Chain A
Amino acid sequence: MTNPPDDKKDDDMPDFSDVKSGASSTAPGAEVFQTYEVKSGDSLSKIAKNFYGNGNAWKTIFDANTDILKDPNKIYPGQKLKIPPKIPPKL
């Protein structure tokens, strides 16, 4: 997965927006996801665009966070969202 660029960049610090990450486990059925903290001005479409390169994938993020999100149009700064891995297209 690719990290989205931070809205507030520290000029002294390098840019890690192109970092790719992954994880796996020997435990059967383990679920892997990234964590993203909502910032002011974010929307699920914007977050989906940053992580998946496709704003239409917002529902993937919404579906993974129905425990804290009831309305996809209402997200708040500070909320920590699960970002599931991008599902590769079926060949």
Chain B
Amino acid sequence: MKNLIAITIALPLATTTLACRKSEPPPATPAESAAPATTLPAPVSVSAVALGTAIGPDKRVTAAAESFGAKDTIYSSVETVGTGHARLRARWSFVKGDKTAKVDETTIELDAAGPAVNEFHISKPSGWPKGDYKLEVFLGDAETPAAVRTFKVS
């Protein structure tokens, strides 16, 4: 009889205990470690463009000018920042009213590991015609220039 009483008491207790365990919230899982923030390298962009009659060994313009003589070699220094593969196009044009004539288009393809200085230059042995000119610098196949500089030959 004692055994029967013990079972009668023990069974509901055990059931209650199990039921209580079931309703307990699951143990909190350890917070997943946040993925490290990946910083994508910035693509190459044009940071500065200068025009002049001479450049230094670092390819930066040393004698800035916006007006040139007929026999001058015209230099442009194009500084870029960012990393990766880039195609830098320099298009030189003569501007007369609403007409433009392409003087030259030269491209530099580079794999930049950081800031870079690029120089473009043009000369005309027979002398530059007087007038207005412009330099447009493009990145890749973009139709819109990343930078534009105007200058004169007088």
Residues of A in contact with B (beta carbons under 8 Å apart): 1, 3, 10, 12-14, 16, 18-35, 82
Contacts and interface: CB of A to CB of B under 8 A. Distances in A.
Interface in B28-79: 58-59
Interface residues of B, number: 34
B129 A14 contact: yes
B108 A30 contact: yes
B107 A32 contact: yes
Contact of B105 (A10, A12, A35): A35
B46 to A, nearest CB: 13
Given A31-B109, A35-B89, A20 B118 contact: no
Smallest CB-CB A-B distances: 6 pairs: A27-B110, A14-B129, A30-B110, A13-B101, A27-B116, A25-B118
- Most chain B CB within a 10 A radius of its CB, from A14, A24, A27, A32: A27
Interface of B: 58-59, 89-90, 92, 94, 96, 99, 101-113, 116-126, 129, 131
A12 B106 contact: no
B110 A25 contact: yes
A14 B127 CA distance: 11
Given A27-B110, A27-B113, A30-B110, A19 B103 contact: yes
B124 A16 contact: yes
A21 B112 contact: no
